[in-house]
Amino acid sequence: MILSKSQSKIFLNDDRFRVVVAGRRFGKTTLSLVELLRVALDRKTKVYYVAPTYKSAKEIAWQMLTDSIPDGYISKKHETELKMTLRNGSTIALKGADNYDSLRGVGLDFIVLDEFADMHPDAWFQVLRPTLSDTGGKALFIGSPKGRNHFYDLWAKGIDGADDWESFQFTTLDGGYVPPEEIESAKADLDARTFQQEYEAQFVNYEGIIYYNFNRKESVKQTHKTKQYHIGIDMNINPMSAVVMGIDGAVLNVIDEVVIFGSNTAELMDELHQRGYTTDKVTLYPDPACRQRKTSAGGKTDLSIMENAGYRVKVRNKHTAVRDRINAVNSRLLNGKGERHLFVDPKCNTVIRCLERHIYKEGTSQPEKDSGFDHMNDALGYAVDFLYPIKKDREQQTHTRWT
Among 169, 198, 227, give the residue marking a domain's end: 198
Residue 166, domain member (yes or no): yes
CATH code of the domain in which 134 resides: 3.40.50.300
In the chain, the amino acid numbered 147 is G
Question: Exposure of 177 by Cβ count < 10 A (0-12 exposed, 13-18 middle, 19+ buried)?
Answer: middle
Distance linking the first and last C-alpha atoms of the chain:
71
What pLDDT was estimated at residue 297? 61
365 with 316, same domain: the answer is: yes
- Render pLDDT for 114-126 as a digit per residue (tens, 0 to 9): 999 889 999 999 9
- 233 within 8 A of 285, measured Cβ to Cβ: yes
* φ, ψ (nearest 5 deg) of residue 27: 100, 35
For range 351-370, the mean pLDDT: 87
- Residue 137 and residue 130 in contact, taking contact as beta carbons nearer than 8 Å: no
Q: What would the pLDDT profile of 126-184 be if each residue is shown by its tens digit?
A: 999 999 999 999 999 999 888 778 899 999 999 888 899 999 999 999 888 888 898 88
Give percent above pLDDT 70 in the chain. 94
pLDDT value at position 66? 86
- Residue-wise pLDDT tens digits, 6-35: 999 999 999 999 999 999 889 898 999 999
Whether 105 maps to a domain, the answer reads: yes
Query: How far apart are the C-alpha atoms of 102 and 107, rounded to whole Å?
Result: 13
Amino acid at 286: P
- Encode pLDDT of 213-227 as tens digits: 898 889 999 988 888
- Indicate the average pLDDT of the chain: 88
Is residue 107 located within the same domain as residue 153? yes
Q: What pLDDT, on the 0 to 100 scale, is given for residue 391?
A: 60
Q: How far is CA 78 from the centre of its chain?
A: 39
In a domain, 175, yes or no: yes
Quick one: average pLDDT of 36-62?
91
Taking the whole predicted model, whether its pTM rises above 0.85 is answered as no
Taking only the tens place, the pLDDT of each residue in 89-111 is 999 999 999 888 888 878 999 99
pLDDT at 401: 45
Residues 386 and 256 in one domain: yes
pLDDT greater than 50 at residue 402: no
Instruction: Give residue 24's pLDDT.
Output: 87
> What values do phi and psi take at 167, rounded to 5?
-125, 145
Question: Is residue 14 in a domain?
Answer: yes
Structural domains counted in the chain: 2
Q: How far is CA 76 from CA 42, 105, 117, 225, 253, in A?
A: 18, 23, 32, 59, 58
pLDDT digits (tens, 9 = 90+) for 249-304: 999 999 999 999 988 999 999 999 999 999 999 999 999 988 887 766 667 899 99
Among the candidates 149, 164, 198, a domain finishes at 198
Query: Count of CB atoms within 10 A of residue 298's CB?
Result: 8
* Strand ranges inside 311-391, DSSP E: 312-316, 342-344
- The separation between CA 173 and the C-alpha centre of its own chain, rounded to angstroms, equals 25
Mean pLDDT value across residues 375-383: 96
What pLDDT does residue 392 have? 53
d(CA 48, CA 64): 15
Residue 207: pLDDT band (50, 70, 90) is: low
**155 part of a folded domain:** yes
Query: Is 85:74 a contact under the CB 8 Å cutoff?
Result: yes
Q: Give the span between the Cα atoms of 284 and 98, in whole angstroms.
A: 49
Query: What one-character DSSP code corresponds to residue 359?
Result: B
Distance CA 191, CA 186 (A): 9
* One domain for residues 326 and 238: yes
Is residue 318 exposed (0-12), middle (13-18) or buried (19+ Cβ within 10 Å)? exposed
Are the C-beta atoms of 112 and 166 separated by less than 8 Å?
no
Of 254, 256, 250, 247, residue with least CA distance to 226 = 247
Which residues constitute the domain of residue 276? Answer: 216-399
Asked if residue 194 and residue 280 are part of one domain, the reply reads no
Mark whether 256 and 387 lie in a shared domain: yes
Residues 6+ positions from 376 with CB-CB distance below 8 Å: 234, 241, 243, 257, 259, 350, 351, 354
Compute the average pLDDT of residues 48-62: 90
Tell me how far CA of residue 18 lies from CA of 94, 113, 130, in angstroms. Answer: 19, 11, 17
pLDDT of 379 reads: 96
Q: Tell me, yes or no, whether 231 and 370 share the same domain.
A: yes
Q: Does residue 187 belong to any structural domain of this protein?
A: yes
- Output the domain CATH number for residue 256: 3.30.420.280
DSSP-assigned letter for residue 360: B
Shared domain check, 226 and 192: no
Q: Does residue 390 lie within any of the structural domains?
A: yes
Q: Could you tell me if 43 and 189 lie in one domain?
A: yes
